[in-house]
Amino acid sequence: MIAAMRNVWILALAQVFSACGTIMLVTFGGIVGTHITPVPALATLPLSMSILGLALSSIPAAVLMRRIGRKPGFIGSALMATGAALICAVSIAHESFAGLCLAGFLLGSNMAFVHQYRFAATEYVAELDAGRAVSTVMLGTLVAAWLGPELGDRLRLLGGWAEFSGSFVGLAVLFVLAALVLLTLGPPLPRATVEQAAPRPLRVIARQPRFVVALLAGLSSYVVMSFIMTATPISMHVVDGMSVAETKRVISTHLLAMYLPSLASGWLIRVLGIRMLMSLGIALMGACVAISTVVGHHFVHYLTGLALLGVGWNFLFVAGTTLLTTTYRPAERFGAQGLNDFTVFGSQAMASLAAGPAITLLGWEQLNLLAIPVLIAMAVAVWWLGDQSARNGATAPATAAGATSNKP
């Protein structure tokens, strides 16, 4: 068990360095984009391009790692991201919006591999500990939520270069550290590599109620979170005139709220079950929308709403990821994981692309209202999963989620 958790913690440490790429784009990308974009409504396009890169690379990343293995794929992507961060720095210095978008796309392609860390972690532990492994890796992003904005802010005026160029030079160093950490990653448990049965067609796996709800949990959590979070820096700094420091504090708090619950989410899955944790996540994200649309959008409202959004995202996403691991056999994992991530992050890309025009054309309150149908649909899906379980008299497989996932 100690040796197994060693590999999980290696992935968590790599996550610390790798996740800083997206976090820096989230925190500073919209601000930089506003300064150099030829069209104000496209200010969030670099961040949206990163999510598009993530979506389009999800299936190729899964296919590549099925052929060459997790470790070479993870290390290669970290080295590619190093170059992307340097392209980002040069693009900012030369006010090249197209270059910034290209760098964002490449950083997103790296995140297609990074998001596989959570699945790789489950291959190092017993099935009962899958939820714990997923939440442990996600703790790496908790550290990144502090490290990314802090490092970016401290280096943004480095060397007299254009503002924020130094931030992305520092990011390139972090990606090199991620590659070095991943060199120490060991092999997974034998059960994850032995093909005990012929894989089922992907369409058969995707028709399972558990798979459908797991995919919808990832999709809705990322769509709502990305749509609101992407628009927040523009709404705060550009529209409402709040300082960079205030904007950074809200985004940092939101990111901490996204990953701090990972300390307990694996345990909560065991105690409450997957459906209950999903329901709590939906309720918290709904509370964020209520604050933004009914209460107001002063600093304290942004801070509180984005914190609730982060916790709700964590509960819904961790529960969905853990449920997903119960739906496929070892031989089927790359196909199922690739399809899930392509769908989830493709939808996130569309939400992020829509955030810039939405905040410009509709305003903050109306933008938040658009999240309500997604949350309602997810609530119906959670109810449907419980209904299907009751009809079939089924209990989930014996995993960290499985012991309690169909608990009333």
* Residue 11, in any domain of the structure: yes
Determine contact, residues 183/11, Cβ cutoff 8 Å. no
* Residue 263, in any domain of the structure: yes
* Residue 408, in any domain of the structure: no
Q: What is the pLDDT along the chain (408 residues), one digit of tens a residue?
A: 556 688 999 999 999 999 988 888 877 877 788 788 777 767 778 877 887 888 889 889 988 998 899 999 999 999 999 999 999 999 998 889 989 999 999 999 999 999 899 888 888 887 777 777 888 888 888 888 788 888 888 888 887 788 888 999 999 999 999 999 999 998 877 654 444 567 788 889 998 999 999 999 999 999 999 889 888 888 888 887 888 788 878 888 898 898 888 888 878 888 888 899 999 999 999 999 999 888 878 899 999 999 999 999 999 998 998 899 889 888 888 888 888 888 888 887 788 778 878 888 888 888 999 999 999 999 999 998 877 766 665 444 333 333 333 343
Q: How many CB atoms lie within 10 A of CB 24?
A: 27
Q: b/e for 340-377, b at 16 or more Cβ within 10 A?
A: bbbbbbbbbbbbbbbbbbbbbeeebeebbebbeebbee
The pLDDT value given to residue 390 = 64
* Residue 238, in any domain of the structure: yes
The pLDDT value given to residue 2 = 58
Total domains in the fold of the chain: 1
- Longest pairwise C-alpha distance within the chain: 66
> What are the backbone dihedrals phi and psi of residue 19, each rounded to the nearest 5 degrees, phi first?
-70, -15
> In which domain, by residue range, is 339 found?
2-392
Give the DSSP letter string of 225-278.
HHHHHHHHHIIIIIIS---HHHHHHHHHHHHHHHHTTHHHHHHHHHHH-HHHHH
* Residue 292, in any domain of the structure: yes
The pLDDT value given to residue 12 = 92
* Residue 406, in any domain of the structure: no
CA quadruple 279, 283, 288, 294: dihedral, nearest 10: 150
* Residue 397, in any domain of the structure: no
- Among 157, 155, 118, 153, which Cα is nearest to 323's? 118
0.75 exceeded by the pTM?
no
* Residue 17, in any domain of the structure: yes
Q: How far, in Å, CA of 390 to CA of 408, rounded?
A: 9
The pLDDT value given to residue 215 = 94
The pLDDT value given to residue 197 = 61
Indicate which CATH number applies to the domain containing 295. Answer: 1.20.1250.20
